[in-house]
Amino acid sequence: MLEYSMLYPKTTESRRAISLNGMWKFCLDEKAVGEQEKWTEGIPGNDRIPVPASFQDFYTDKDTREFTGDVWYETDMFVPGEWENTQVQVRFAAATHRAVVYVNGIKVTEHEGGFLPFTADVTEIVRYNASNKVVVKVNNELNETNIPCGSTVTLANGKKMTKPYFDFFNYSGLQRSVHLVSVPKESVFDFDLTYELDGVTNGTAQTAKISYQVQTNGEHPVFLELFDESGASVASAQGAQGVLTVSDAHLWQVRNAYLYRLVIRIMDESLVIDEYEQEIGIRTVEVKGTEILLNGQPVYLRGFGKHEDSDIVGRGFNIGVMKRDFELMKWIGANSFRTSHYPYSEEIYEMADREGFLVIDEVAAVGLFASMLNFMDASSGKTTAFFESETIPVLLKAHLKALEEMITRDKNHPCVIAWSLLNEPETTNEAAVPYFKEVFDKAHELDPQKRPRTYAMIMNSTPDQCKCFQFSDMIALNRYYGWYVCGGYEISNAEAMFRKEMDAWKAKNLNKPFLFTEYGADTLGSEHKLPSVMWSQEYQKEYLEMVHGVFDSYDFVKGEQIWNFADFQTWEGIMRVNGNKKGVFTRQRQPKDAAYLLKERWTNLPLNFKAGGVVQERRNLNGKFS
């Protein structure tokens, strides 16, 4: 069990949450002397930097942008005197990739894993009704013992440099919100919810049963109450575990979300000891044969692989960019996305809950294929025997911990319909099998709702070579026929190769839904060429027309999530012109020509496209579905 609660910080009758976001002191530790020079008590210099944000893109010198090693943050926080008899915590929504936290010069916690929350209990450390100093050392080095994987090298000039085994920039720092939190000493620590529906018609269940289990750290009784969107109480229950029964329940549906407000209280007679609330959606998710079922009805996924990536703040959470992204996804007709390649900021899941988007939630297990050019190397058939490495036992431990943190954090979001447990790992070697088994078994054990599990399969994970596809409840393919393989005028060969692989998957008769979790072609938003060439907008559209034809030819394909939603930053190299340009939108969130092609397709695709294993709608001469 986790040592700290993953519940999002909220202010309620019993709780207080104060944002510590803002301008923090900041410095690089180029000579790794921070501890020796007692930076734990206060860091040198007067530079300030925004939190939350990645640190790299604020500065104009390359040494800072590419800095690898320890960076230090500092701020002051005032702790109210009335909190003295509560539990006082400092909560970090993320620190990439590892952090050590000091309060008033005393080490209070450390954490490894850059995309999930952790909490420091500072109850006995802080001075009440006074200012307290918070200092955080954050390290962004990559290795093969933690996810995401990569390596760290030292250049001839003595400076360190990260070598990621993944195709996105190693943004880092305090990239998500920091809160000062007060909770009662007896409090709600966690809760699990599962759903059972009866008599479902037109988005309503005659009866919905919400089985719950609440974990507290005390003995006082627990009470639950459920409110509908009008504020009316529709169900209540007493006890740390039990069932809430809702009559005529409004169901959470795709792009038509209905959210109830669940209030959990610990009571001492009429006195509220603790209160926590969360919006929830009543819905069920399961895979049955080749169908993905939401509330018992088949759904076809259309949407994106995404990144938390934008100008200036890098991977830092940006509430304005989040709003724009959801509006663009609604405009284009998407209904889903994968949190490639790490769990996203919690606010994004709350937004997806409200907007009715389906989310494949991915742990940061990317780079489990020892190559800086894995997108190229895997396409050419290279193997790396990654899971034979001596670092695997330590890596597995870190992977399982991150998986537990992600599922514990996100399990009650209605938007989360599946877990992605790895992205593009090496699976052509039998050594991967026990690793995969342990990870997939753990995900099933941790999730009370037993959502489908999957992983995104790299190009060399073919039906005749992959040793691990049997673990997935849904087969998720990342495929780039027509780009990394047989691009340009060879696209006819690419289509033939693509269909040959899909025919081989079909011959296996796996009776599982297939998703395309990546496909795409790099495109410069400024580039037009007639006739088309690779990198032109015209070629991106021709490529999409080819792959859509393949998707539509196989009745077991139940989703398409193009790579990528928007252009994003990568490391330097001859394969990338200032980043990955496969975005349907530019990094500034403006549409490329392909956006209009996808909008035409997706807004005309029925939600139950290919339900029952039959391609029920065929395109007419205008490319529309009717």
Positions marked active-site: 424, 518
| Measured distance CA(508)–CA(88) in Å, rounded | 56
Q: How many CA atoms lie within 13 A of 334 on its CB side?
A: 29
Alpha helix (H) ranges present in 382-458?
392-410, 432-446
Query: Which SS3 state, helix, strand or coil, does residue 427 take?
Result: coil
Strand partners, 56: none
Quote the tokens at residue 241.
């575990």
C-alpha distances out from residue 561 to 209, 542, 582, Å: 32, 17, 12
Pairing between strand 48-51 and 204-216?
Answer: unpaired
| Measured distance CA(176)–CA(21) in Å, rounded | 9
Q: How many residues would you count in the chain?
A: 626
Number of other residues whose CB lies within 10 A of the CB of residue 261: 15
| Contact predicate 304/338, CB 8 Å | yes
| Contact predicate 554/290, CB 8 Å | no
Q: Report DSSP letters for 271-299, one per residue.
A: EEEEEEEEEE----EEEETTEEEETTEE-
From 568, 601, 597, 599, select the one nearest 582 (Cα to Cα).
Answer: 568
Residue with tokens 């496969």: 582
| Contact predicate 371/434, CB 8 Å | no
SS (H, E, C) 50-78: EECCCCHHHCCCHHHHCCCCEEEEEEEEE
| Contact predicate 454/360, CB 8 Å | yes
| Measured distance CA(279)–CA(479) in Å, rounded | 37
**470, amino acid identity:** Q
